[in-house]
Amino acid sequence: MNGLSAEEVRVALERLQARLNAAKIAYLNNTPLEGSPVSYEDVAAAARALIRANYRLQEIQFGKVRLRLSVAKLIRRGR
């Protein structure tokens, strides 16, 4: 995501948040997502991608990462 504007990163962040939510729901309901079963590793990978995008947005806006996220907190979060 190097060289992207804050708005482009924000759009990608929203897309990744929707992907994480879909993966969490599929994992919890034991249903396939895009034709394949979802494992905890798939949900964690989606969370890590969201964290990377979030950190990139913070770097663009603030010059540094101010709020640290963790995979466990994102998976546990009820949104």
Number of structural domains, the chain?
1
Contact 6, 57 (CB under 8 A): yes
Report yes or no on 47 lying in a domain.
yes
Report yes or no on 36 lying in a domain.
yes
Give 20-44 as a DSSP string. Answer: HHHHHHHHHTT--BTTB---HHHHH
Q: Report pLDDT digits (tens) over 27-77.
A: 999 999 999 999 999 999 999 999 999 999 999 999 999 999 999 998 887
Report yes or no on 51 lying in a domain.
yes
Report yes or no on 1 lying in a domain.
no
Cβ neighbours of residue 50 under 8 Å, at least 6 residues apart? 13, 16, 17, 19, 20, 69, 74
Report yes or no on 46 lying in a domain.
yes
Residue 58: the pLDDT is 94
Q: Which residues pair with 36 in a beta bridge?
A: 33
Which pTM value belongs to this model?
Answer: 0.86
Q: Which domain holds residue 15?
A: 6-76
